[in-house]
Amino acid sequence: MQQVRKLERYKDDQGNEIVYAGEVREEKIDIRFKGSNNTLVIAPDADIKDLLVIFTGDNGHIEIERTTKRRAGLRFELRCGHESKIRVGENVGCAGRTFLSAVEGVSVTIGADVMFAKNIEVRADDTHPIYDVRSQKRANPSKSIVVGEHVWIAKHAVVMGGVTIGNGSVIGFRSIVTSSVPNNCIAVGAPARVVRRNIAWERPEVVSRRPGEQHPRPGEKSEQYWNLTDDDAAADAPVVRSKPTSQRAVARYLPASVRRAARKYRSAKK
């Protein structure tokens, strides 16, 4: 096993790689490679506060996008197995360490602007296999998870394999999500059930506000996420912005010296 205790650009003779061109970080960084040809891609401006990454197999891929807005920071324990993928979109925030697990070739996708509270698990697998005694077939195969954009997941919630959560929804305190949730809904319970539709939520806290104060305040409303619930739409296909493929977007992951040289080259050509 290869263990890295700094967040910086890295590559070993097993083909494991960290693609990162930001400021070197040493506090609360623990990255472990137990296999080969695994890749961890982190945007230079991702606000990493606490990161434990364990690649348990070969050909795993993890990507963490940038933080451009004020958020609680990124606090993750990430487990990635053989041929599996984890993607965290931009401007995600975690009040406490959030556990994401993808193994057996499945994926976990977290959309942009998701808000995680404390002690949350998003697990595409159950860690241990369960079998049907009569058929001897596996009863709990790993299944991919998609959490859409601008989703709020409250304290101690768990999202299980095969689940999708639509954009703008809220998952309640200590809920266990075992089936898909449409957009702009509140789902609570164990197992979680939708208890309210056609809702929207905003990040600014109410704890310091006066009784009867206007909500939301001017400028607080995130218009793109104020939508009616569409129960007829496929809950397993929430909008999740994919990584930009433009040359400018790719350049964000290059070392600063390479970016400076490229800018000088472009200026000389003008």
Q: Which residues are catalytic?
A: 128
Distances (CA, A) of 168 to 144, 171, 200, 201, 208: 20, 10, 6, 7, 24
Q: Which residues contact 74 (CB under 8 A, 6 or more apart)?
A: 46, 47, 48, 49, 50, 51, 64, 67, 88, 92, 93, 94
Radius of gyration of the chain (CA): 20
Beta strands 48-55 and 29-33: pairing type? parallel
Cα 22 to chain centroid, rounded: 19
Q: Which residues contact 36 (CB under 8 A, 6 or more apart)?
A: 14, 15, 16, 58, 59
Q: Which residue has the tokens 């609360």?
A: 28
CB atoms under 10 Å from CB of 29, counted, come to 17
Q: Which residues contact 219 (CB under 8 A, 6 or more apart)?
A: none
